[in-house]
Copies of this chain bind each other. A is one copy, B any other.
Amino acid sequence: MPEVVKPIPATWCPGCGDFGVMAALKNSLKALSVPTEETVIVGGIGCSGGIHNFLDGYGFHSLHGRLLPTALGAKLANPKLTVVAVGGDGDGYAIGMGHFIHSLKKNVDITYIVMNNETYGLTKGQPSPTAKVGFHGNLEGPFDAVLTALSVSSAGYIARGFSGAPREAAQYITEALQYNRERRGFAFVEILSPCVTYNDTYQLWRQQVENVEKIEGYDKSDRAKAFSTVLQVKERGKIPVGQIFRVADGKGAPALDKTLLPMVERSPAATDISLEHNLPKYQKLLASLG
């Protein structure tokens, strides 16, 4: 086997929450024994988005906000791959917002991890869409991706973790990847990941996170309930985390890649495109034009 590119040590600031997310993702990939060569990490642009450089596997550094269509294209063209898209909250919820909603809607079997630090780390600390009112003069109410993900009817797997609790985060990611492998659809995992340099929220978040799954009577397959619980928890000044929604087995929208390519061996990337292989069918196609 040839010598291949080696992951470089993470270039994040010491203490950055992203280290926790990376550890979680690494553990999840390992736990599921995803082969390195079938692992595709698509990174966004931002501190977070560099993650693929620090991990084993095929890495693709996409454009700011465009990691999702890229990742979907990769998965649709070769559904054998385990595709994980990872980026920041600016990348995903600002410039990438349209693709975020549409990826939930499309429901392709990839996992999307957003490292939410409520700021644009790499450009030095401006407010991101999740920033609180008042952060660096921010006047806009913060965007809650979990609430909005719940509003998209095809969305079947929604979780939020905290990089300060990497074991739970790893658990959500592992289940997300598992959900993908069962070809059930798109999995969205937001991880609260403090930016120690521009928005150090470690202490605050440690106090604020509240696991909804521990709330009496919580039913993660009940979309309306999940929505109202998240709202309630927030009203109490807490941040809802946990496996917030998971569509009941046997329910939910079909995964797009599964519908299009029921047999993973027959995919756009895998099919034989030689002329010999296809000639009779090409001739038929041409003849049909009359």
- A141–B153 CB distance below 8 A: yes
Q: Within 8 Å of chain B (Cβ to Cβ): is A205?
A: no
When A98-B95, A101-B101 are in contact, do A141 and B228 touch as well, CB less than 8 Å? no
A140–B142 alpha-carbon span in the complex (Å):
28
A105 at the interface (CB under 8 A from B): yes
Residues on the B chain within 8 Å of A151, using CB = 144, 147-148, 150-151, 227
Interface residue A13 (Cβ < 8 Å from any Cβ of B): no
> Chain B contacts of A223 at CB under 8 A?
231
Closest Cβ neighbor of A101 among chain B residues: B97
Q: Which residues in window 242-256 of A have CB below 8 A to B?
A: 253-254, 256
Roughly how many angstroms separate A141 CA and B259 CA in the complex, as a whole number?
13
Which residues, 185 to 209 on A, are CB-close (under 8 Å) to B? none
Q: Does A32 contact B (CB under 8 A)?
A: no
Given B101, B143, B227, which contacts A224 in the complex, CB threshold below 8 Å?
B227
In the bound complex, what is the Cα–Cα distance between A153 and B144 (angstroms)? 8
- Selected from B141, B152, B153, B154, the residue in CB contact (under 8 A) with A154 is B141
Nearest-Cβ distance from residue A7 to partner chain B, whole angstroms = 32
Contact with B along A103-120 (1 / 0, CB 8 A): 001110000000000000
Given contacts A144-B151, A253-B141, contact A102 B106 (CB under 8 A): no
**Which B residues are in CB contact (< 8 Å) with A144?**
151, 153
Interface contact A140-B154, CB-CB below 8 Å? yes
A–B pairs, 8, beta carbons within 8 Å: A96-B98, A107-B140, A141-B253, A147-B151, A147-B152, A224-B231, A227-B227, A228-B228
Q: With contacts A97-B102, A151-B151 known, what are 12 further pairs, Cβ within 8 A?
A: A97-B97, A102-B129, A105-B129, A105-B143, A139-B254, A139-B259, A141-B152, A148-B151, A148-B152, A223-B231, A227-B228, A228-B228
Which A residues lie at the B interface, using CB under 8 A? 94-98, 101-102, 105-107, 129, 139-144, 147-148, 150-154, 223-224, 227-228, 231-232, 253-254, 256, 259-260
